[in-house]
Amino acid sequence: MQIQIFSADEGNGGTSTINAYNQLVHGDNCGYIIGPTWSGDMLTLIPYISRDRVITISGLASLDSLYDPVLTNYTNYKWIFRMQATDAQMGVDLFSFVGQVVHAKTMVIVGQDFLYAHEIAQGGLNLANKTGVKVLATDFYSPSSFDLNAEIMKIASLQPQAVLLISTGQDVLTFINQYKQNPTTAKIPLAITNDTPLGEPSAMASYLQAHPGAANYVTYHGPWYTQNLTSRTASFVQEWKTKFGVYPNMIPSARGYDIVSLIANAILRAGSTNPDAVVSALESSNFTGVSGIISFDKGHSLIVSEDKYVVPLVQWQNGEPVTIWPNKFATGKYVPPASGS
């Protein structure tokens, strides 16, 4: 069997997202949706997905309560799945790293003023309270900000032992530049959430060429193409490089590929394209993808655990990304910025 793929741009949410969905489902007769990207767009589409019984798998929608309808009204909302860690899970991962690897006792959280950033911060705060890490400040800035020096000056005055930046935009690179230019913050460990320019090999190559050494000792919470996440990762990366001439950004590329493969696998195991049968097959998935072993909990969220699906942490060292956490994927050890050049 062949799968035919159509695409549509969800745009800036609201009407544009609904129009894109309607084009795919009612114009192109798509029975499955990969996406949408953002949690707000998924929230907009959930009533339409329920009405049309269209199996929809997002690779990025992360808001903690977004998939609660699956648990509260399974019959109407069983069509939605997500192949992404929740915000709370990402917060736990980052704070575990700060406590267990950086061994920080104090930290500052800075992030875009979006709900996802507040949720990641809260997930980490919950763990911080249990582990004894003291959060000195939690600040959220406008996503349109280009000058983040006020945030960096505050960090310098507080002198925490670690800083967590929660952002998915181009402001990440602005923050890094200004952070490294301050002699105090340049020596404070900085960890940044995933789905940023730090995960795009081509973008990072250009950035580091323009700003040599700028990312050194910065830690990024996200997959990188050199990691053998499963037995299928290396061959996917090589095939991608051969076809497109560049190495893949593993979040959109590998996850998108995995979602298509996962749907195909579920159809084959169900022996049918009947939506109810495919949903049941997806629910019982234990599928070895390119980005991890994919299975879902009762709320149709991705199960994130060390033996199934892990989002590693990478630290830039001397211009090169080195996987430092967890140990099973590590290719090197964490280096504190104060000890580097």
pLDDT tens-digit profile, the chain (341 residues) = 788 999 999 998 899 999 999 999 999 999 999 999 889 999 999 999 999 999 999 999 999 999 999 999 999 999 999 999 999 888 888 888 888 889 999 999 999 999 999 999 988 888 777 777 899 999 999 887 778 889 999 999 999 999 999 998 888 999 999 999 999 999 999 999 877 888 999 989 999 999 998 899 999 998 999 999 999 999 999 999 999 999 999 999 999 999 999 999 999 999 999 999 999 999 999 999 999 999 999 999 999 988 899 999 999 998 899 999 998 899 999 999 976 54
Q: What is the per-residue pLDDT for 95?
A: 84
The alpha-helical segments, DSSP class H, found in the chain are: 15-22, 39-52, 68-72, 74-77, 87-97, 115-131, 149-158, 171-181, 201-210, 233-244, 252-270, 275-283
What pTM was computed for the model? 0.92
| Residue 340: predicted pLDDT | 53
What confidence score (pLDDT) does residue 339 get? 64
Q: What fold does the segment set 87-222+311-339 form as a domain? A: Rossmann fold (3.40.50)
- Tell me if 103 sits within 8 A of 131, measured CB to CB: no
Pick among 3.40.50.300, 3.30.230.10, 3.40.50.2300, 2.30.130.30: CATH of 15-85+250-294: 3.40.50.2300
- C-alpha to C-alpha distance for 180 and 161, rounded to whole angstroms: 15
For position 312, what pLDDT does the model report? 93
Residues in Cβ contact with 276 at an 8 Å cutoff, skipping those fewer than 6 apart: none
CA-to-CA distance for 262 and 292, rounded, in angstroms?
12
CB 251 within 8 A of CB 309: no
Q: Are the C-beta atoms of 322 and 332 separated by less than 8 Å?
A: yes
- Pair 321, 224: CB distance under 8 Å: yes
Please provide residue 140's backbone torsions phi and psi, each rounded to the nearest 5 degrees: -125, 130
Q: Which residues contact 18 (CB under 8 A, 6 or more apart)?
A: 44, 45, 48
Domain with CATH 3.40.50.2300 in the chain: 15-85+250-294, 87-222+311-339
DSSP 134-198: EEEEEEEE-TT----HHHHHHHHHH--S-EEEE--STHHHHHHHHHHHSTTGGGS-EEE-SSSGG
Q: What's the confidence (pLDDT) of residue 168?
A: 85
- Distances from the Cα of 105 to the Cα of 99, 110, 128, 162, 297, angstroms: 7, 17, 9, 8, 33
